[in-house]
Chains A and B, each alone.
Chain A
Amino acid sequence: MSLDLFTQRILPMKDKLFRFAFRLLQNVQEAEDVVQDVMVRVWSKKEEWALWQSIEGYCMTAIRNSCLDRIRKKKLLSVQEERAAHISSTDKDPYENMMNKEILTRIRKCVDALPENQQQVVHLREMEGFSYNEIADLLNMSLEQVKINLFRGRNAIKKSITKEEGLWNR
Chain B
Amino acid sequence: MEQVMIAALLEKYWLAETTVEEERQLAEYFRQPVIPAQWEPWRNVFAYFETEAQITPGEDFEARLLERIRQAEATAPGPSNSDLRAAPVRPLFRRAPWWAAAAVIILALGISRLAESPGAATTPNDSVAQSGAANAGTTTSGEATAIKDTYDDPQQALAAIRRALGTASAKMNHGRNITQKQIDRMNDGLQSAIAN
**A residues lining the B interface (CB < 8 Å):** 1-4, 6, 11, 14-15, 18-19, 22-23, 28, 31-32, 35-36, 39-40, 43-44, 46-47, 83, 86-87, 89-90, 95-96, 98-100, 103-104, 107-108, 111, 123, 125-129, 131, 147-148, 150-151, 154-155, 157-158, 161-162, 165, 167, 169-170
Contact = CB atoms under 8 A, between A and B. Distances in A.
Interface residues on B, range: 35 or more
B44 A147 contact: no
B2 interface: no
Interface stretch (B65-73, B122-130, B132-140, B180-188): B65-73
Interface in B14-67: 14-16, 20, 23-24, 31, 33, 38-45, 47-58, 61-62, 64-65
Given A104-B44, A170-B10, A151 B57 contact: no
26 contacts: A4-B83, A6-B69, A18-B57, A18-B61, A19-B53, A28-B58, A35-B57, A36-B61, A40-B68, A40-B72, A83-B55, A89-B54, A90-B54, A99-B48, A100-B40, A103-B41, A107-B45, A125-B23, A129-B20, A129-B23, A147-B16, A158-B14, A158-B45, A162-B41, A169-B42, A170-B39
Query: Chain A: interface secondary structure?
Result: helix
Nearest 6 CB-CB pairs, A to B? A151-B16, A169-B38, A3-B83, A126-B49, A18-B57, A127-B53
Interface string B94-107: 00000000000000
If over half of B's interface residues share one DSSP class (helix, strand or loop), that class is named, otherwise mixed; here it is helix
A99 B55 contact: no
